[in-house]
């Protein structure tokens, strides 16, 4: 029995007793003025509709259903409307699945929904809520956001400092893919793409390239170690960790040791990041050229002037991000779609060959001019958004969404997956059609793969640059095909980043016209 199924079985076994206890408590309070006033307030509110729920557990069984959570919520929206409510244990939640209501949440009510819920797993995994993505809205968050936007992930810094790193790591990836293609003719792209994304992340965070000691392995030891940490911690992040919604007294029992498991991997992650910070501190010179510095080095420079603000914990919270999975998953989904639609793959090949030719590798500067490639990326993000439910928000004040009252303290899930597949907005929404983004045809239609409003992902520019160059390079350099002609399985897995249920494997061989270029790597 897996963890989630065990939780449900345990919860159901306690449900009868707890429900009886709950009813006895409610009965004891009946007739009290305070209780009557609260009931009257609830009756006056126009709360969103809600699907049938299990007593005491509410809608927690949705988290362990066979369908991915975002897909299950899309099905409920089709029956209950674009705004409906859930009860996840003791937490009230609202799910928004329409473009208009989502836009209202992030414009008209952006301040009200700028906060993040303090989920127990995120408290443990995010330095006590200090990480940018999950920190509470306020002065501390604004400081983090400003540093990320201006000092670390600005368009200028990405172009001048990070794009050369991405280009170098793409070349290293080409060598890995070429070796795999020559050895077996088959390539499992998930590993190659994840290693590339991880190497880019580690190089921009801490300039780990100098740690590579084996010419046969172009991934640094730090990247290998961080991958193990990421693989262990990702299952506990996002909206679908059942442990987050259990009552506190059940979490204290922690029969499966979830708290200890998270604590163990977080301890190793923190020690790893502290080693990176200490190494950067020892090598930090007097140069003020922040464009050539790693993220950690930039933060350490700020620490010199404001040590109480830019503590080592803050540096870890800013730099210890896990954006590797989102980037690699997006490229993997794009390649999966292209393999199932070879006519689109041929169009992309022809566009790249016409714009770049076969005498050199494509560069970052070439990518913006490849309009059809941009359509492919947009259509991939529409069908398989980076985070299908974004990250959960929490209402800091009472507000109204879609004509319904949303009380203060309610969790907000915005189902980007459902919004991107809304049949009222997109013709044949489940079909892969890059052409729908040609010549501004999709202008004005809401797309939010990186969120919207104050909590929009600050790493969007870096992610899109990486996806564009990697995808274009794979198309330019290799001939790709499905194994034995079988259709690529497009089943989605659940979780924060909606990875493929089955890692993509394809046949691959260098294009004859590009062999001389690959041999020069």
What is the rounded distance in angstroms from the CA atom of residue 233 to the CA atom of residue 229? 6
CB contact burial 290-326 (16+ within 10 A = b; e otherwise): beebbbbbbbbbbbeeeeeebebebbbbbbbbbbbbb
Q: Is 35 helix (H, G, I), strand (E, B) or coil?
A: helix
Q: For residues 327 and 228, what is the distance between their CA atoms, to the nearest angstrom?
A: 17
* C-beta of residue 231 within 8 angstroms of C-beta of residue 270: no
Q: What does the alpha-carbon distance between residue 193 and residue 466 come to, in Å, rounded to a whole number?
A: 11
Q: Under a CB-based contact definition with an 8 Å cutoff, are residues 517 and 477 in contact?
A: yes
Q: Whole-angstrom Cα distance, residue 261 to residue 345?
A: 43
Total residues found in the chain within this entry: 521
Say if residues 449 and 385 touch (Cβ distance below 8 Å).
yes
Of 303, 255, 250, 276, residue with least CA distance to 3 = 255
- 163 annotated to bind ligand: no
The two tokens of residue 518 are: 């690959």
User: Kindly report the CA angle at 230 between 453 and 299, in degrees rounded to 5?
Assistant: 60
Q: With DSSP H G I counted as helix, E B as strand and the rest as coil, what are the percentages for the chain, rounded to 5?
A: 60, 10, 35
3-state secondary structure of 51: coil
CA dihedral 198, 203, 205, 210 (to 10 degrees): 130
Q: E-strand spans in 136-201?
A: 186-188
What is the Cα–Cα distance from 204 to 168, expressed in whole angstroms?
Answer: 12
The radius of gyration computed from the CA coordinates of the chain, to the nearest angstrom, equals 24
Structure tokens at 8: 């449900």
Q: What is the dihedral of CA 404, 408, 409, 412, to 10 degrees?
A: 30
Distance CA 393, CA 413 (A): 7
User: How many Cβ atoms are within 10 Å of 65's Cβ, its own excluded?
Assistant: 13
Q: Which two tokens stand for residue 516?
A: 């001389």
Detail the residues annotated as belonging to a binding site for heme: 457
Q: Which residues are annotated as a binding site?
A: 457
């Amino acid at each position: 029995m897996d963890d989630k199924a065990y939780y449900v079985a345990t919860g159901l076994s306690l449900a009868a007793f707890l429900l009886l206890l709950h009813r006895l408590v409610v009965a004891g309070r009946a007739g009290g003025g305070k209780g009557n006033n609260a009931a009257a307030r609830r009756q006056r509110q126009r709360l969103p509709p809600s699907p049938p729920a299990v007593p005491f557990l509410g809608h927690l069984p949705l988290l362990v259903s066979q369908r991915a959570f975002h897909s299950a919520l899309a099905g409920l929206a089709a029956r209950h409307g674009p705004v409906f409510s859930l009860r996840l244990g003791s937490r009230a939640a609202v799910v928004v699945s329409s473009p208009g209501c989502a836009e209202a949440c992030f414009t008209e009510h952006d301040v009200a929904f700028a906060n993040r819920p303090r989920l127990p797993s995120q408290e443990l995994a995010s330095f006590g809520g200090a990480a940018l993505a999950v920190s509470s809205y306020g002065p501390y968050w604004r400081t983090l956001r400003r540093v990320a936007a201006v000092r670390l992930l600005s368009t200028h810094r990405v172009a001048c400092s990070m794009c050369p790193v991405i280009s170098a790591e793409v070349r290293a990836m080409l060598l890995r893919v070429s070796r795999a293609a020559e050895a077996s003719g088959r390539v499992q792209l998930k590993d190659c793409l994840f290693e590339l994304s991880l190497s880019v992340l580690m190089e921009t965070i801490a300039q780990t390239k100098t740690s590579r000691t084996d010419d046969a392995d172009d991934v640094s030891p730090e990247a290998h170690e961080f991958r193990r940490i990421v693989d262990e911690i990702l299952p506990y992040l996002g909206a679908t960790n059942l442990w987050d919604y259990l009552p506190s007294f059940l979490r204290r029992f922690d029969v499966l040791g979830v708290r200890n498991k998270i604590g163990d991997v977080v301890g190793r992650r923190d020690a790893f990041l502290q080693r990176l910070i200490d190494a950067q501190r020892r090598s930090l010179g007097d140069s003020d050229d922040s464009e050539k510095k790693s993220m950690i080095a930039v933060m350490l420079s700020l620490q010199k002037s404001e040590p109480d603000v830019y503590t080592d914990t803050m540096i870890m919270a800013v730099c210890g991000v896990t954006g590797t999975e989102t980037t690699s998953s997006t490229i993997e989904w794009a390649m999966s779609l292209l393999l199932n639609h070879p006519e689109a793959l041929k169009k992309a090949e022809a566009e790249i060959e016409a714009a770049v030719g076969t005498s050199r590798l494509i560069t970052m500067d070439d990518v913006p001019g490849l309009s059809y490639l941009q359509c492919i990326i947009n259509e991939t993000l529409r069908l398989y958004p980076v985070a299908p439910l974004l990250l959960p928000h929490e209402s800091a004040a009472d507000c109204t969404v879609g004509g319904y009252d949303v009380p203060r303290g309610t969790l907000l899930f915005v189902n980007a997956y459902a919004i991107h597949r809304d049949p009222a907005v997109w013709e044949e929404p489940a079909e892969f059609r890059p052409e729908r983004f040609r010549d501004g045809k999709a202008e004005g239609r809401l797309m939010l793969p990186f969120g919207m409003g104050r909590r929009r992902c600050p790493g969007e520019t870096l992610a899109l640059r990486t996806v564009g160059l990697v995808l274009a390079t794979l198309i330019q350099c290799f001939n790709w095909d499905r194994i034995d002609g079988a259709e690529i399985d497009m089943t989605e897995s659940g979780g924060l980043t909606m990875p493929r249920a089955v890692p993509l494997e394809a046949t691959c061989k260098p294009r004859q016209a590009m062999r001389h270029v690959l041999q020069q790597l």
